[in-house]
Amino acid sequence: MILQEIILYALAGTCTGSVLLMIAHKNLMYAALGLMGCLISLAGIFALLHAEFLAATQLLIYAGGVLVLIIFGIMLTNRIAGKPLLTAATHWFFGIALTVGVASVLIISYHETQFESRIASQISMNSQAIGIELMSTYVAPFEVSGVLLLVCLVGAAFTASWFKKHPHE
Amino acid sequence: MNKTDLLFYLGVFLFCSGLLMVFTKKNAIMILMGIELMLNAANLNLVAFNQSTPGLDGQLFALFIIIVAVCEAAVGIAILLKAYRFYQTVVPDQFRDLHEKL
């Protein structure tokens, strides 16, 4: 149990450090690297919380798919001839003020709330249970999300595709 | 600090970092990354509070959030590519005109 706690604290620390790197660094590629560290450590946290299916999904979809997509976006939207991919930041004062406000509201409301302390029944076969739930209780959102993914795929491909015969050229 | 507190504070930190990135960064891709961070914070909270309930509803909800986040990222990057082709920049402050360039 103590080993689990140590690993949990280490993963939380890694996540925090990666996010701080993302905020502080000016280079876009380093920010993408920080996002990768954050996502992978979150997958580790999910695995520690007995959400193995979600951890695998996080690794496959976020660290494998979304991150590659973001790096593609960085490379395609910058002229990378020579100069590094820098980004600027503005409105630090308003941003930090808003962030501190939101954080204080969240933390105060967390401490004001009385949670029922129920001990979870540990489900040993997490993937099997999620599969059964997806195919029984949550079958309607499952199908809708399939349709949503298809629509997104077609829409994104259509939006990003480049037609040579543009009507204004 | 017990486990739920730690995870809640980590979620708050992730959400606020995402909010800060959305507000302060100039590049639109950094804004997309901030949105991803906020969605991940929501996921972390759902999974953490699912520990104290008997069912698996939190994890399934997190799964659907991941699906929606993927869709959002794909469409966002596609729109950004289109905007980059039109304006030659991805800084939203410079998307000034609604008309075509002459």
Domain map (residue ranges) of chain B? 3-93
- DSSP conformation letters of B85-102: HHHS---GGG---SSPP-
Does residue A164 surpass a pLDDT of 70?
A: no
pLDDT at B93: 80
Give the confidence band of B100 by pLDDT, cuts at 50, 70, 90.
low
Min distance B98 CA to chain A CA atoms (Å): 15
Which contacts of B22-25 are long-range, i.e. CB under 8 A and separated by 24 or more positions?
B23/A91, B23/A94, B23/A95, B23/A98, B23/A99, B24/A89, B24/A90, B24/A91, B24/A92, B24/A95, B25/A87, B25/A88, B25/A89
- ipTM value for the complex: 0.88
Q: In the structure encoding, which two tokens stand for residue A153, read together?
A: 């795929």
Residue A122's pLDDT is 61
Q: Which of B64, B39, B44, B19 has the alpha carbon at shortest distance from A41? A: B44
CATH code assigned to B3-93: 1.10.287.3510
Task: Give the pLDDT band (50/70/90) at residue A125.
Answer: confident
**Could you tell me the pLDDT band of residue A58, with boundaries at 50, 70 and 90?**
very high
CA distance B76 to chain A (A): 8
B47 touches chain A (CB under 8 A): yes
Backbone angles phi, psi at A86, to 5 degrees: -100, 155
pTM: 0.88
Contact A35 B33 (CB under 8 A): yes
Task: List pLDDT tens digits, range B28-70.
Answer: 999 999 999 999 999 999 999 888 877 888 899 999 999 999 9
Are B62 and B53 contacting, i.e. CB atoms less than 8 angstroms apart? Answer: no
pLDDT at B99 over 80: no
Q: What is the mean pLDDT of residues B76-85?
A: 89
A44-53, A81-90, A110-119, B38-47: which range is least confident on average?
Answer: A81-90
Give the span between the Cα atoms of A150 and A157, in whole angstroms.
Answer: 11
On the CB side of A27, CA atoms within 13 Å amount to 7
Q: What is the pLDDT of residue A167?
A: 55
In the numeric block, the tokens 């630090």 are attached to A92
Q: Which of B36, B44, B84 has the CB atom closest to A66's CB atom?
A: B36
- The pLDDT of residue A50 is 87
Tell me what the pLDDT averaged over chain A comes to.
87
Q: Which residue of B has its CA nearest to A86?
A: B27
